[in-house]
Amino acid sequence: MQKSQEGFTWTAKGDFQGKSVLLVEARDRIGGRCWTAEAGDDTKVELGGTWVHWQQPHVFSELQRYDLANFQETVAFPENGEFVVKESRSHPARVQNSAEGQVMMERLEGLMEKFFDNPDYLELDKLSLADRIAQLDSCSQEERSMLSAHTASFYGVSPEKVSFAEVLHTHALCNFDPAMMDIAIMKYKIARGTTAFARAILDDYKRARIFGSPFVSKFVIPTIPINVISSITFDPPLSTLQREVFSTGVTPAKSDKLLVCTSSDLRNGFNVTCEGGDMPYTSGFADGKHGNHTLLTLLAHPGNNLDRSEENIRLMETLRPTGIQVDSACGHLWSEDSYAGGVTPVRGPEFLQKYHDAIRRPHGQVHLCGSDFADGGRGFISGVFEDAYRVTRDILR
Ligand SMILES: Cc1cc2nc3c(=O)[nH]c(=O)nc-3n(C[C@H](O)[C@H](O)[C@H](O)COP(=O)(O)OP(=O)(O)OC[C@H]3O[C@@H](n4cnc5c(N)ncnc54)[C@H](O)[C@@H]3O)c2cc1C
């Protein structure tokens, strides 16, 4: 048995409501797509899932349970909009000063209202983001470009591959309020970090666990990401629809995450989303102050080798505004992580009607579970808990 950060195999007496439980984890750490790293100077950086909000009830109640509901703020929002770019593949970059940045973010908010304004939900499920933007006759080319860059940046894949219903779903969970959407999905970070959160849950679990071991036998609750399920053989095989989803039904968002500390004076306002073009990243924003440094978060296209520091610096030289000084940087290549297969599975048009129920159906004793399968909070940390409640209920029943 391998030694790991989380200890050796450990067998405990006791069970959970009459069921014995064994935790099997392929990595040598807990947390999966949530992972906090120390970046010197008492700076903690989140390499994976980061932002949470009380609009996401399941994660918020678990944070309360473990006394971890203290937050740090990301500061890349309109009130601080020093530097704002919303650039699509077809439209040139827009670079603004603080006052113009704020106007631009307000304008974007109005555009998002138009974008979401359509009550026919089943028809909308057939649309991609690109289809929906093409329907907005009253918008100028520049406005469409802003919308395209902004909405596609949530997923890191091109707007043709993203189901409009997915974005609408998140919008609905944010009270149909575009301003709330920015705040709920990209503002509050857990002060002690997501790894501290995962460890608190693991400490509470107190049952048998195996780390550093991809599972090889039959399991009841695989909580593995949709992007990597197709690498696992199920016997008997999964249903045809399930296999279709796991092999071709989703587009893995292959963004890599890079965190950069800079002492350049950005006065904190920095919010950029670029859809392809010459920029190596899809989005970048100021992520809080650490002493004299500003932390920048970048979600980058794969293939930039962001874990190598010279490349990091070269990447930053291509940033607008130019001349940002990189003091330190670290990141993780989610695109090459064989236990994640990318950031998240991106659902395309018609996914909801064709596949959503099918992937959540138990396969004999196998219950697929995790944030990727959640009904409400899919793609978010909150979805982890929401879906665990569902599957635990089903199994106990
Ligand atoms: C860069 C990035 C940014 C994100 N930003 C946010 C954010 O700001 N807010 C937010 O709410 N969410 C965010 N997310 C999404 C969030 O992190 C995930 O939705 C959530 O962590 C997924 O949790 P999970 O338990 O369902 O899956 P995972 O965390 O992926 O856990 C699955 C576990 O299964 C293990 N595993 C895989 N294969 C095997 C195998 N064969 N055998 C045994 N074990 C295996 C993996 O190692 C992993 O530990 C982000 C994700 C990333 C990557």
Which CATH number characterizes residue 387's domain? 3.50.50.60
Residue 52 and residue 38 share a domain: yes
For residue 242, pLDDT over 60 is answered with yes
User: Counting atoms of ligand 1 from 1, which one is nearest the CA of 59?
Assistant: 11
Supply the pLDDT for residue 36.
96
Identify the CA nearest to 166 among candidates 148, 151, 156: 151
Give the nearest ligand 1 atom to 332 CA: 1
Q: How far is the CA of 35 from the centre of ligand 1 (A)?
A: 9
Q: Both tokens of residue 224?
A: 């593995």
CA–CA separation, 278 and 248 (whole Å): 28
State the distance from the centre of ligand 1 to the C-alpha of 32, rounded, in angstroms. Answer: 4
| Candidate from 53-62, 100-109, 153-162, 254-263 with smallest mean pLDDT | 100-109
State the average pLDDT over residues 2-12.
45
- Note whether residue 6 is domain-resident: no
8-state DSSP, 203: H
Residue 370 Cα: closest atom of ligand 1: 26
Task: Point out the ligand 1 atom lying closest to the alpha carbon of residue 232.
Answer: 41
Reported as a single tens digit per residue, the pLDDT across 101-115 is: 777 778 888 898 889
Q: How far is the CA of 144 from the centre of ligand 1 (A)?
A: 32
Most informative mutation of 339, 359, 375 for ligand 1 (most atoms within 8 A of CB): 339
Return the ligand 1 atom nearest residue 373 CA. 26
Out of 224, 246, 360, 367, mutate this one to test ligand 1's pocket (max ligand atoms within 8 Å of CB): namely: 224
Q: How far is CA 151 from CA 77, 157, 390, 392, in A?
A: 15, 10, 29, 34
* CA-closest candidate to residue 43, choices 329, 299, 332, 256: 329
Residues 265, 267: Cα–Cα separation, whole Å: 5
325 in a structural domain: no
- For the chain, the average pLDDT equals 84
The model's confidence at residue 178, banded by pLDDT at 50, 70 and 90, is confident
Q: Is 261 helix (H, G, I), strand (E, B) or coil?
A: strand
Domain boundary among 170, 186, 202: 186
262 φ, ψ (degrees, to nearest 5): -135, 145
Which residues constitute the domain of residue 132? 78-186
CA–CA distance, 374 with 388 (Å, rounded to integer): 9
In which band, very low, low, confident or very high, does the pLDDT at 142 lie, cut at 50, 70 and 90?
A: confident
pLDDT at 274: 77
In this structure, which residue's CA is closest to atom 11 in ligand 1? Answer: 380
| 340 Cα–ligand 1 center, Å | 7
Cα–Cα distance, 327 to 81 (Å, whole number): 23
Q: What percent of the chain has pLDDT over 70?
A: 85
- Confirm whether 170 is domain-assigned: yes
Protein residues whose CB sits closer than 6 Å to any atom of ligand 1: 24-27, 32-34, 48-52, 214-215, 223-225, 228, 232, 257, 334, 339-340, 343-344, 370-372, 379-381, 383-384
Last residue of a domain, one of 138, 171, 186: 186
Q: Is 54 helix (H, G, I), strand (E, B) or coil?
A: coil
- Same domain for 56 and 108? no
Q: How far is the CA of 81 from the centre of ligand 1 (A)?
A: 30
Q: What type of residue sits at position 357? A: D
- Residue identifier of the C-alpha nearest atom 5 of ligand 1: 49
Ligand 1 mean position, distance from CA 31 (Å)? 7
CATH number of the domain within which 100 lies: 3.90.660.10
List the structure tokens of 140: 């100028």
- Three-class SS of residue 252? strand
Smallest CA-to-CA distance from 294 within 258, 330, 319, 270 is with 270
226 close to 372: Cβ distance less than 8 angstroms: yes
Atom 51 of ligand 1, nearest CA residue: 49
**Residue 303 and residue 280: Cα distance in Å, rounded?**
9
42 dihedral zone (left: phi>0; alpha: psi -120 to 50; beta): left
pLDDT at residue 311 in the model: 72
150 and 87 in a single domain? The answer is yes
Ligand 1 centroid–CA 397 distance in Å is: 27
Q: What are the helix (H) ranges across 250-378?
A: 309-317, 351-360
Q: Are residues 116 and 241 in the same domain?
A: no
Last residue of a domain, one of 169, 186, 203: 186
The yes-or-no verdict on residue 356 having pLDDT over 80 is yes
The best mutation among 33, 72, 201 to test binding of ligand 1, ranked by most ligand atoms within 8 Å of the C-beta, falls on: 33
Nearest to 275 by CA among 134, 95, 115, 152: 152
Q: How many structural domains does the chain have?
A: 2
Query: Does residue 393 have a pLDDT over 70?
Result: yes
Ligand 1 centroid to Cα of residue 93, in Å, is 32
Percent of the chain with pLDDT strictly greater than 90: 36
Dig out the tokens for 205 from the structure. Answer: 């679990």
Q: Which residue has the tokens 């000063």?
A: 97
Q: Which residues pair with 37 in a beta bridge?
A: 45
Ligand 1 center–CA 122 separation, angstroms:
29
Contact call for residues 77 and 271 (beta carbons, < 8 A): yes
Q: Which residue has the higher pLDDT, 343 or 86?
A: 343
- Whose tokens are 């002492």? That residue is 263
Contact 213, 2 (CB under 8 A): yes
In a domain, 345, yes or no: no
